[in-house]
């Protein structure tokens, strides 16, 4: 499977970030979002070895899970279309028409959407659910919600090797802890890794990451942490401060951030830097994990927040 003709890692530039006010550290953004129009950011690294495995095992269909605004669903549909796989998206909740931009894109890329009520969706990890999938869809290659499994870690572990400068910290947004687990594994105890949880009550991500890394490397590392304080109210929750920050970063740097993942992460980096968390004269590399597709689905909500919170 020729990935190199489609995914261009040379476009993942290291871009200096200028903030609205000075900070005592150097911050760069690793533009993983630029490697492909749709299969970008961390989503590519999570999918790479899963697609290879699916091909090796003779599968022609990839099935995965996600919410109605899922970046992972969006990227899986695009990857399937790009690399010749049929795709099935198990979508949490009921169907709402017209489809939002994420699901409309997925269907345009050939993904079959199957809606699962929330109580059944919570059982998706159970063996009987896998049996049901087999009976309904036949032999398909199943990728977990968010794309996080050991093959995803293998891909994400390659990200640190793409950073073309010395650094003290690498930071990333955390939804399922897959990307940060891979980055921790790839660094092997070197440097420092700081994740930013994008959902409320996400202390479980600490255990997830530790377990992921232990299974992948056979080791535990103490050079990482996940900050739980920059979720802005919860998953896909936003406020005026976050929206204005995202718009300032785009105006100053030309970097488009989504409000669900990278916007929260970089806002956290900025706030912690101003508070002296990193110290002085350190170099931080923030991973741009893509996700700009989510902006369309959030645009009306962002406009509403700005108009009602003056």
Domain tally, the chain: 2
Q: In what order do the strands lie in the sheet with 86-92?
A: 112-116, 86-92, 61-66, 141-142
Length of the chain: 310
Q: Is residue 1 part of a domain?
A: no
Secondary element (H or E) of residue 141: strand 141-142
Q: Is residue 55 part of a domain?
A: yes
**Entry pTM:** 0.93
Write the CB contacts of 208 (distance below 8 Å, at least 6 apart in sequence).
176, 177, 181
Same domain, 191 and 237: yes
pLDDT digits (tens, 9 = 90+) for 31-89: 999 999 999 899 999 999 999 999 999 999 999 999 998 889 999 999 999 999 999 99
pLDDT digits (tens, 9 = 90+) for 152-199: 999 999 999 999 999 999 999 999 999 999 999 999 999 999 999 999
Which backbone phi and psi does 184 adopt, to 5 degrees?
Answer: -60, -45
The count of other CB atoms within 10 Å of the CB of residue 83 is: 18
Domain span at 298: 9-39+150-308
Question: Exposed (0-12), middle (13-18) or buried (19+): which is 268, by Cβ within 10 Å?
Answer: buried
Mean model confidence pLDDT for the chain? 94
Q: Is residue 4 part of a domain?
A: no
Domain boundary among 92, 116, 147: 147
Same domain, 115 and 179: no
As a whole number of Å, the end-to-end CA separation of the chain is 52
Same domain, 124 and 199: no
Instruction: Please state whether 233 falls in left (phi above 0), alpha (psi between -120 and 50) or beta.
Output: left
pLDDT digits (tens, 9 = 90+) for 220-264: 999 999 999 999 999 888 889 999 999 999 999 999 999 999 999
Helix/strand/coil for 217: helix
Distance CA 295, CA 243 (A): 11
pLDDT of residue 18: 98
């Amino acid at each position: 499977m020729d990935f190199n003709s489609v995914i261009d890692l040379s476009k993942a530039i290291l871009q200096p970030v200028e903030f609205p006010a000075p900070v005592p550290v150097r911050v760069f953004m690793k533009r993983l979002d630029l490697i492909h129009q749709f299969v970008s950011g961390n989503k590519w690294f999570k999918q790479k070895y899963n697609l290879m495995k699916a091909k090796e095992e003779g599968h022609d269909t990839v099935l995965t899970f996600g919410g109605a605004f899922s970046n992972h669903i969006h990227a899986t549909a695009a990857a399937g279309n790009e690399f010749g796989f049929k795709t099935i998206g198990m979508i949490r909740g009921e169907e709402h028409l017209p489809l939002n931009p994420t699901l409309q894109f997925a269907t345009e890329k050939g993904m079959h959407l199957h809606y699962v009520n929330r109580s059944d969706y919570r059982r998706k990890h159970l063996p009987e659910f896998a049996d049901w999938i087999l009976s309904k869809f036949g032999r398909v290659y199943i990728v977990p919600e968010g794309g996080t499994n050991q093959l995803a870690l293998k891909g994400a572990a390659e990200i640190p090797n793409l950073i073309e400068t010395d650094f003290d910290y690498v930071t990333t947004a955390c939804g399922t802890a897959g990307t940060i687990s891979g980055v921790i594994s790839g660094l092997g105890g070197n440097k420092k890794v700081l994740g930013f949880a994008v959902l409320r009550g996400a202390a479980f991500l600490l255990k997830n990451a530790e377990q992921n890394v232990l299974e992948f490397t056979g080791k535990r590392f103490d050079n990482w942490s996940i900050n739980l304080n920059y979720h802005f109210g919860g998953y896909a929750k936003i406020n005026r401060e976050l929206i204005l920050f995202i718009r300032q970063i785009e105006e100053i740097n030309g970097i488009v951030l989504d409000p669900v993942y990278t916007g929260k992460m970089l806002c956290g980096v900025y706030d912690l830097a101003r508070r002296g968390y990193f110290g002085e004269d350190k170099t931080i590399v923030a991973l741009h994990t893509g996700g700009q597709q989510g902006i369309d689905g959030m645009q009306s909500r962002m406009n509403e927040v700005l108009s009602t919170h003056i």
